[in-house]
Chains A and B, each alone.
Chain A
Amino acid sequence: MSGKALIILVLGFSVIFLVVGYFWGDLATRSTENHVSYYKTTIAHNIAVSGANIGLQKVIADSQWTSNISNRPFEHGYMSVSLTTLGPPQRTLTSIGAFWGDTAIVKVKLMRDQTSLAKYAWFIPSVSTGSVTQRPWITGDTVWGGFHSNQFLVVDGRPVYFGKVTTLKGIKDMGSGSDPQFLGGYAEGIKVTWTSSMHYPDYASIAGAGSSFSKDLWLKFDAFGNVTYRVGSKNNAGQDSTKYGAPTTVPVSTLAPNGVIYVNKANVYLSGTLKGQVTIVAEGSSGSGGPGNVYLEGDMVYNTKAMIPNGEGGYMVNPASLDADGKPLDMMGIIATNDIVVSTSGNLGGYENNVVDHDIQIDAAIFCNSGGFRVDGLGHSPADVPLGLIYLQGSMTAGKEEIVADFSGNTLIDGYNRHVVFDSRLAIGPPQWFPYLTYYRVVSWLE
């Protein structure tokens, strides 16, 4: 074979290899481009979803929020979030994620809505001064219904939660190997913002002059729809029965024609059996020791129990607690600027009913704006011994989580265990004039 033929042969093969190599290289490039394209789309989508979550967190915390997120660098891409104008009940949040030339859009429709604060069996927006660890839920504590803490959920032992439990900061175990039972599920990292969007009614105006008091008020309800009330004959009558005027007994609807009994800059001392519906309000300047407290001088229950055992270890709405239209017969709201206190002293009934006779039963939706739910004189005689159980059927929203028991390890040495059952009727309708929140809720999510 001559040299010329060899050159042609080599050149020919080289051309063939070049063409085929180029074609194979192109296939490989296109294959890579295919992956890269999907990767870019996925990252852009993730950025858009993150932008939507960030925007939603802002607008749910502050319903007046207007977006300031525009081309914000995020995960090597950019996010922009916009929100339609305030005013209409429906707003649309649009989040655009951009990553290396690819964009993805997430659109979330929000609807302005209201929700009662009586929606959890137990809601801890905050804790009082002092260590959060003073307030553990321990063996023997049981909660049926939703539970939320904007703090830790502090546990020691084996408390049982039958409803969904959510927390902002997670679980703090005060023991070694506590084993809380979350039978309805658990999630953390969730914050319920309540103060900025809360609607707190003008109770003085709603109650009117005939239902408003400016001195301590002692109320005892009976099962016939009446209430006996005594007004303090002087300021700060407190738990001394001699400092109250003569008792007056009237139908609940007479004392509270608008459904509210209102006490301003004083305290309410409460017990009995309610037949009907009423909301008790005690207002005063916020702060420890100030007025605006409600003292429970004994059991405060409904004439017809709201929740009854369902035969399977849980609770169900008592059909007898509803009228023919399915609305609650008996319903109480207890609202205090400061504390709701389980009374353990004085001669209004607290000592006999709550200390001598262990346990206390409370049927009500409770809301403390600045204070919390606590036991009077805990750790001091006579409240320096185990007092049994707090049977709460209703809901608890206390601005601060307070103390109802003292512990040695996870052993209760004084105060109460808690047995809380959410009154499911509250999910349909809260007590009259109960505080509520305005918020935007997600009604549709497109991505």
Chain B
Amino acid sequence: MGTAVIIDILGSMVIGGILLLILFQMNDNATQNTYNFSGELAVQQNLVTTVEVLEYDFRKIGYCEDPQALPNPEENAILLADTNRIRFLTDVMEPPYNNPHGDGTLDIIEYRLGPATELSGTQNPNDKILYRIVNGVSKGVNLGITEFKIKYFMDKSNGKGGTTLGEIKPASWPIIYTPGTPTGITALEIDIKVENTAAYDAGQNPYRSAFWRQIRLSSRNIKR
């Protein structure tokens, strides 16, 4: 055994070390990619889940299984309008759950976005709880929502180019509607942005995010 053997051993160690480093880097990259891809999927699933629930509820603004209980939904259905908060009359399924669409009794649903400070325990500093409050009973869920904005529109046709909508821009929010007073609201624009609650190496990588905008959602019950 001589110098050549030592050189062989040292060379093997260097090559092995390089291979090991490559392996570690590859493992790190694979983990990061897995985290990002999984996070992307989770974000998109959370977004779709949120959107489906929102769409279902918002399309039922002013709906009641017993129409006599809410004869003029265009005048009574929306009780409060705010840029990230809305309260409206609808009909939700209640026990014993005989009818999946409602029990004929009016209910009040409110959606609002909580402050970011409520979720200080998560890595993402921007995620908030979206509250769905049914008849005063609050249920919040953290799906990584960082943005929930609503715009309200009313008919502002001027006779040139068909029906057009105009955004309602009051001097101050929220608008609280008195039952029996027409709100004029015929459509909503809803923005939702969802991000991961945590990210791989959050200091270096951005949170995966997905954005959804319902340009004009109109419940037929408030637009007849």
A contacts, CB < 8 Å to B: 20, 23-24, 27-28, 30-31, 34-35, 37-38, 41, 107-109, 111, 165, 170-171, 180, 182, 185-189, 442-447
Contact = CB atoms under 8 A, between A and B. Distances in A.
Nearest to B41: A31
Contacts, number: 72
Given A187-B157, A444-B63, A41 B224 contact: no
A171 B41 contact: no
A444 B30 CA distance: 53
B67 A109 contact: yes
Contacts of B181: none
Given A182-B158, A185-B157, A445 B220 contact: yes
A261 B34 CA distance: 87
Interface residues of B, number: 32
27 contacts: A23-B34, A27-B37, A27-B38, A27-B41, A31-B40, A31-B44, A34-B48, A35-B44, A38-B52, A41-B52, A107-B101, A108-B220, A109-B67, A111-B67, A170-B162, A171-B160, A180-B159, A182-B157, A187-B162, A187-B163, A443-B71, A444-B65, A444-B67, A445-B63, A445-B220, A446-B60, A447-B59
A91 B92 CA distance: 22
A171 B60 contact: no
B93 to A, nearest CB: 12
B113 interface: no
Contacts of A188: 162-163
B67 A34 contact: no
A199 B156 CA distance: 35
Interface of B: 30, 33-34, 37-38, 40-41, 44-45, 48, 51-52, 59-60, 63-65, 67, 71, 101, 155-160, 162-163, 219-221, 224
Given A27-B38, A30-B41, 15 more contacts: A24-B33, A27-B40, A31-B37, A41-B52, A180-B159, A186-B157, A186-B159, A186-B163, A443-B71, A444-B63, A444-B65, A444-B67, A445-B63, A445-B221, A446-B101
A34 B41 contact: yes
Given A187-B157, A445-B221, A24 B67 contact: no
A81 to B, nearest CB: 16
Contacts of A170: 162
Contacts of B65: 444
A82 B147 CA distance: 40
Contacts of A189: 162
A199 B159 CA distance: 33
A106 to B, nearest CB: 9
